[in-house]
Amino acid sequence: MRPAPRVAPGHPLVWRGGQREHTLPTLPSGHRALDRRLPGGGWPIGALTELQPARAGLGEFWLLLPALATITGQGGWCVLVNPPWLPYPPALRGHGIDLRRLLQVRTRNTAESLWACEQALRGARGGAVLAWPGQARDGAGFARLRRLQLAARDGRKSAFVFRAPGAARSSTPAPLCLGLDADDAGLRITILKCRGHHDTRPIHLRRPHDSATTATAPH
């Protein structure tokens, strides 16, 4: 195959398949191996990110703790909508999170969770919203997630929605969608969707109790 012609490199009208879009501002995730593979080098700001752990509790919350520490450290609010268990304050503090900037919202159903999430996204600028809208099959459909995506953009926030892995096959309005699984070596992250070209190989991260010999170091 002939190499691409060397005309107009970086010309705004020429888009190359290998280019990644860097239009979204990002926030470093705090995991170097992950940042290297995420478009823009971190979690998107002003957009929805969907996380699909194979099972709840694999490390999807741990994955976000460094970002939450950064955000709360800058005075931004982090709102947790209907988390599956109690976010344990001493542990969060141990990860450098400013508890004064943490907010927990309890809801009764998926509709309320999505509503609360949107309200939180449309509120004060900056910060993050983490939502566990529940497992209802049609509860977090495309249209409702699309609202969250727009709200995140308007509020310039990072929105993280945790969904069941079954949702992987359905389309999502989130610009970034990650699948999470775990084995003895650690957390295995697959980029299911992102803007621009991406590498489909999984990313391995070593969680605090994973053995150091078999997994890639987080830093």
Partner 1 sequence: MNGTWLAAVFPHLALDLATRDTAIDDQALAITEDMRGRPVVADCTATAEQLGVRVGMTVAAALAVASELVLCERQPGAEARALQRLAAWAYQFSGQVSLEPSTATLYLEIGGSRRLFGAPGPLREQLAHDLGVLGYRAMAGTAPTPAAARLAARQGLDIDSAEQLERYLARLPLAALGLEPSELRALRGMGFRHARELLRLPRPDLARRLGPALLERLDRLRGHRPDPRPPWRPPEHYRANLDLGTEVHEASGLVFPLQRMIREFCGVLRGGDHGVQSVDIELRLREGRQRLRLGLQAPGRDEARFMTLLRERLEHLQLSSPAVEITLQASRLLPFDAPATDLFGDSADIDSCLDPVLERLRARLGDDAVSGLGGVEEHRPEYSWRTPAPGADSPCPALPHRPAWLCQPPRPCVIADYQVLAGPERIETGWWDGRDCRRDYYVMRDPHGAALWVYREYKPAPGWYLHGIFG
The residue within the footprint of partner 1, chosen from 88, 138, 143, 201 (CB under 8 A), is 88
Q: Is 126 in the site for partner 1 (CB under 8 A)?
A: yes
Return the residue of 34, 116, 176, 191 that touches partner 1, per CB under 8 A.
116
Site string for partner 1, 42-81 (x = CB under 8 A): ------------xxxxxxxxx--x---------xxx----
Rounded Cα distance, 133 and 162, in Å: 7
State whether residue 83 is helix, strand or coil: coil
Q: Which tokens is 66 given?
A: 């460094």
Tell me the site size for partner 1, rule CB under 8 A: 53
In the complex, least distance from residue 124 CB atom to partner 1, rounded to whole angstroms:
3
Candidate residues 84, 166, 170, 197; the one interacting with partner 1 per rule CB under 8 A? 84
How far apart are CB 127 and partner 1 at their closest, in Å?
A: 8
| Least distance (Å) between residue 197 CB and partner 1 | 29
Among candidate residues 130, 116, 115, the one with its CA nearest the CA of residue 68 = 130
Give residues with Cβ within 8 angstroms of 205, minimum separation 6: 31, 33, 34, 59, 63, 186, 187, 189, 215, 216, 218
The reply to whether 28 sits near partner 1 by the rule CB under 8 A is no
Q: Which stretch binds partner 1 (CB under 8 A): 10-18, 29-37, 110-118, 140-148?
A: 110-118
Distance CA 68, CA 74 (A): 10
What is the DSSP secondary structure assignment for residue 127, as one 8-state letter? -
Residues between 160 and 189 that touch partner 1 (CB under 8 A): 181-184
Considering only 93, 154, 170, 197, the residue that binds partner 1 (CB under 8 A) is 93
d(CA 133, CA 98): 24
Q: Does residue 41 bind partner 1 (CB under 8 A)? A: no
In this structure, are residues 152 and 121 in contact, taking their beta carbons and an 8 Å threshold? Answer: yes
* Residue whose pair of structure tokens reads 């957009």 in the numeric block: 47
CA separation for the pair 66, 117 (Å, rounded) = 21
The residue whose two tokens read 């995991």 is: 31
Choices 1-9, 119-127, 143-151, 168-176; region in contact with partner 1 by CB under 8 A: 119-127
| Binding stretches for partner 1 (CB under 8 A) | 54-62, 65, 75-77, 83-95, 99-108, 112, 115-116, 119-120, 122-126, 181-184, 207-209
